[in-house]
């Protein structure tokens, strides 16, 4: 996953000012499918790692300086390791290439504590999962969790070919028992899963969770448009485009930012982000997507009226946090907890 949540479950709260960073060892790198490797991380100084919930992801600080987000795919009951699966994508932003080409067993890397923008619903009585390609990763821990609680579910896993399908060994029992279906399209979406038929009717109490490449995500969003919005949850690998704007946004105007801890004040000009302005003042913050979908730059604000342009925060979260890589202020000034 490189992720964005759209119709969202609540965030698992972290400290957005100083997110916990962990030193971990690459315990193993293993082959899952063509161009897909699993990376297992363990703590360098403890037997346990911070707990996580199904659907969580971590930031991985790569040797080339990039920060990328990847979903945890191992059971959330495991406290001794984090496991992610990464598709090597030559057309991506370089993170997956660095993971495959630079990381080796035994290396020490920095990761963030897990956070969750894609949580299982506690009110669902049935779970419908749809994965496209490497989008299976966050769903693997979800499936283990719903099985553990005896909850009803079905997984639809869309892939190009068997050779490019991860976790087939783990899922073969579910396929045999009718709880999972794998759909191969050999590169022709018209030969894959019929989304309209699959999502035409919503079983009572069912919630939908989906993750995958942009084309599939857009198709699922359209096919599930008649479902209640609070019953649909997704996580994207990449931005849907430029930061979200509304018809009432109007042109960008300058605004002031005050940093409550350092007492610094700065101006954010049109065409400039809060992150840009902070860096000009020597204030470094972690960023990754710079488009409001990964959550790396989530920051608490103490006063002011934000103009939110992210794709992650729900309405409750927006009363407390702002994504400073893309969002601005409606008010003349805003105070950040930095």
Q: Where are the domains of the chain?
A: 4-112, 126-236, 255-336
| CB-CB contact of 263 with 285 (8 Å) | no
CATH hierarchy code of domain 126-236: 3.40.50.80
The verdict on pTM exceeding 0.95 is no
- Residue 1: name the closest of 213, 283, 262 by CA: 213
Residue 294's pLDDT is 75
Residues in the chain: 338
Distance CA 234, CA 9 (A): 9
For the cut 70, the answer to whether the pLDDT of residue 11 exceeds it is no
Residue 316's pLDDT is 83
Task: Indicate the CATH number of 255-336 among 1.10.760.10, 3.10.20.30, 1.10.275.10, 3.30.930.10.
Answer: 3.10.20.30
Residue 296's pLDDT is 81
User: Which CATH architecture best describes the domain 4-112?
Assistant: Beta Barrel (2.40)
Q: What is the pLDDT of residues 232-263, one digit of tens each?
A: 999 876 655 445 555 456 788 999 999 999 99
Distance CA 111, CA 266 (A): 30
Q: What is the pLDDT of residues 261-272, one digit of tens each?
A: 999 999 999 989
């Amino acid at each position: 996953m490189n992720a964005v949540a759209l119709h969202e479950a609540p965030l698992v709260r972290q400290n957005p000012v100083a997110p916990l960073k962990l030193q971990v060892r690459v315990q193993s790198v293993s082959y899952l499918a063509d161009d897909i490797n699993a990376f297992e991380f363990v703590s360098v100084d403890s037997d346990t790692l911070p707990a996580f919930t199904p659907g969580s992801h971590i930031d991985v600080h790569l040797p080339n300086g990039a920060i990328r987000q990847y979903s945890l795919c191992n059971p959330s009951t495991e406290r001794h390791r984090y496991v992610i699966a990464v598709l090597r994508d030559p057309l991506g932003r370089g993170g997956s290439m660095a993971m495959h080409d630079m990381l080796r067993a035994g290396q020490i890397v920095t990761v963030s504590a897990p956070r969750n923008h894609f949580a299982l619903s506690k009110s669902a009585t049935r779970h419908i999962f749809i994965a496209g390609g490497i989008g299976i990763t966050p769903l693997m821990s979800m499936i283990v969790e719903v099985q553990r609680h005896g909850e009803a579910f079905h997984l639809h896993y869309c892939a190009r070919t068997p050779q490019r399908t991860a976790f087939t060994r783990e899922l073969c029992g579910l396929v045999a028992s009718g709880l999972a279906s794998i759909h191969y399209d050999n590169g022709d979406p018209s030969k894959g899963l019929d989304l309209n038929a699959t999502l035409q009717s919503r079983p009572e109490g069912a919630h939908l969770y989906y993750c995958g490449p942009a084309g599939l995500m857009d198709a699922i969003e359209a096919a599930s448009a008649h479902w209640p919005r609070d019953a649909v949850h997704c996580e994207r690998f990449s931005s849907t485009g430029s930061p979200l704007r509304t018809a009432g946004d109007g042109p960008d105007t300058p605004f002031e930012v005050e940093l409550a801890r350092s007492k610094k004040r700065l101006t954010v000009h049109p065409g400039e982000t809060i992150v840009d302005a902070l860096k000009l003042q020597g204030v470094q913050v972690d960023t990754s997507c710079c488009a409001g979908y990964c959550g790396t730059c989530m920051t608490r604000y103490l006063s002011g009226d934000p103009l939110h342009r992210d794709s992650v925060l729900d309405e409750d979260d927006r009363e407390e946090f702002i994504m400073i890589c893309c969002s601005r202020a409606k008010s003349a000034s805003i105070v950040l907890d930095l």
